[in-house]
């Protein structure tokens, strides 16, 4: 297991940057209210303005303000914590600290233009992640996301679909910097491509092709899809940041590869928790219909069950003699991918403080990948 770097004072910087992002997001939402005439106490609101607030700005505010997304740091009181509310660090700000330094360091290279570009990029990335959640929940028919009602449940599918689409355009406009916009456009395209292929696993034709494919072909299908669908969520923040900061191409590629690995590790974690009640909770044994789950694809082997959908496939997988062995192997693969990604990022960190900043940011979910591995290995007596 890769050692997590610790350095004095880093968490305070992480919290300060995260609080700045939250204020910028609040400013973004506040700008929406300014798009129509502000409501004065006792003043009449036109039918148009009222409809606009209900049909667009309301759903957008709910989408951006939800707690869905990267896990938050534990609340901390005081200036360093940015108050008592939860804060979600951003990989965009990690890149800024890595390549422009920490505020109290000698030779700190920050410039107002760099910080402004990074702040806009961080807001744009967060907005795009929220848009992805809104659209993904519609496509997957998910009514609940981390304990919250999905946007389409509270506002209806048409308004949620429109709000998610509007957020994409708003994010690209907010980013402003042409290099950052180009990076985000690529990310959106990759994410939508991966989502399309993932959705295809519900179609009879793709299901039949996966059933007839070799094990290696199934894994290649899964990796290609996960790299686009989930890997993009990790790669997008860093690529937007390095585009804003003009990072050299070699390091940009190294970071891109590392984030691809983290994306695969995260998708493995998501797939495995369908079989691990300790981590999957109410969602355990849920994801079987689409043939997008790596565990299912591994266990199909050459002996495909006659009933390849619904209860038949579920019984086949849960009763498979190699299920536990496969869970251990894939959990170990996820932990290894996460470890390799951390080592790669540490290799481009300019200081121990930068490495510690990265670890604080990534380990909020990364520790769950390690916990998953310990859990499934413990079941096997390892």
Residues 6+ apart with CB under 8 A from 365: 70, 71, 266, 269
- DSSP H/E element including 367: helix 352-379
Backbone angles phi, psi at 315, to 5 degrees: -65, -40
Bridge partners (DSSP) of residue 73 are 87
345 close to 380: Cβ distance less than 8 angstroms: no
The set of residues, in sequence order, having a beta carbon less than 8 Å from that of 158 and lying 6+ positions away, is none
Strands 144-145 and 148-149: antiparallel
- Residue 376 and residue 331 in contact, taking contact as beta carbons nearer than 8 Å: yes
CA distances to 61, 254, 263 from 224, rounded to whole Å, are: 33, 19, 11
Closest CA to 291 of 277, 278, 274, 279: 274
The sign of the CA dihedral 252, 130, 226, 86 is positive
Predicted pLDDT of residue 286:
56
End-to-end CA distance of the chain: 16
Predicted pLDDT at 66:
75
- The C-alpha atoms of residue 260 and residue 254 are separated, in whole angstroms, by 10
- Position 236 scores a pLDDT of 96
pLDDT on residue 1: 42
CA–centroid distance for 14 within its chain? 18
Cα–Cα distance for residue pair 10/360, rounded to 1 Å = 9
Axis-axis angle for helices 91-100, 231-245 (nearest 10): 30
What's the CA gap between 312 and 353, in Å, rounded?
Answer: 52
Predicted confidence at residue 35, as pLDDT, reads 60
Q: Strand, coil or helix: what is 173? A: helix
- Residue by residue, pLDDT tens for the chain (382 residues) are 455 666 778 988 999 999 999 999 999 988 876 665 555 666 677 898 889 989 999 999 999 887 655 456 766 655 444 445 678 889 999 999 999 988 877 666 668 899 999 999 999 999 999 999 999 999 988 888 777 889 999 999 999 999 999 999 999 999 999 999 999 999 999 999 999 999 999 888 998 899 889 999 999 999 999 999 999 999 999 999 999 999 888 899 999 999 999 999 999 999 998 888 777 655 554 555 558 899 999 988 766 665 555 567 778 888 889 999 999 999 999 999 999 999 999 999 999 999 999 999 988 778 889 999 999 999 877 6
Measured distance CA(278)–CA(272) in Å, rounded: 11
* Alpha helices (H) in the chain, listed in sequence order: 10-33, 47-52, 58-65, 91-100, 112-140, 151-155, 157-175, 178-200, 204-212, 215-229, 231-245, 249-272, 277-280, 294-300, 311-318, 323-348, 352-379
Summarize pLDDT for 3-22 with one digit per residue, the tens: 566 677 898 899 999 999 99
């Amino acid at each position: 297991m890769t050692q997590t770097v610790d350095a004095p004072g880093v968490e305070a910087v992480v919290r300060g940057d995260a609080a700045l992002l939250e204020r910028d997001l609040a400013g973004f939402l506040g700008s929406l209210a300014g798009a129509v005439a502000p409501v004065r106490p006792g003043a009449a609101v036109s039918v148009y303005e009222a409809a606009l607030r209900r049909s667009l700005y309301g759903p957008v505010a709910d989408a951006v303000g939800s707690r869905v997304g990267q896990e938050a740091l534990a609340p901390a009181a005081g200036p360093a914590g940015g108050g008592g509310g939860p804060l979600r660090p951003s990989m965009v700000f990690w890149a800024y600290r890595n390549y422009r330094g920490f505020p109290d360091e000698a030779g700190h290279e920050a410039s107002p233009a760099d910080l402004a570009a990074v702040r806009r990029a961080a807001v744009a990335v967060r907005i795009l992640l929220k848009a992805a959640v809104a659209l993904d929940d519609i496509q997957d028919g998910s009514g609940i996301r981390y304990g919250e009602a999905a946007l389409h449940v509270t506002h209806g599918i048409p308004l949620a679909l429109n709000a998610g689409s509007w957020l994409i355009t708003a994010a690209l406009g907010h980013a402003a910097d042409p290099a950052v916009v180009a990076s985000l456009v690529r990310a959106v395209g990759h994410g939508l491509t991966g989502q399309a292929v993932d959705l295809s696993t519900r179609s009879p034709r793709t299901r039949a092709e996966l059933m007839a494919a070799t094990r290696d072909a199934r894994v290649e299908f899964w990796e290609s899809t996960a790299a686009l669908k989930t890997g993009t969520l990790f790669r997008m923040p860093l690529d937007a940041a390095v585009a804003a900061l003009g990072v050299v191409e070699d390091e940009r590629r190294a970071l891109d590869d590392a984030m691809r690995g983290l994306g695969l590790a995260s998708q493995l974690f998501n797939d495995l928790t369908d079989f691990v009640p300790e981590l999957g909770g109410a969602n355990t044994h849920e994801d079987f219909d689409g043939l997008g789950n790596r565990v299912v694809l591994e266990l199909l082997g050459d002996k495909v069950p006659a009933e390849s959908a619904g209860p038949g496939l579920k019984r086949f997988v849960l009763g498979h003699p190699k299920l536990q062995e496969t869970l251990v192997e894939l959990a170990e693969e996820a932990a290894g991918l996460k470890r390799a990604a951390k080592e790669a990022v540490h290799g481009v960190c300019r200081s121990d403080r930068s490495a510690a900043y990265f670890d604080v940011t990534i380990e909020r979910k990364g520790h769950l990948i390690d916990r998953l591995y310990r859990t499934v290995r413990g079941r096997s007596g390892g």
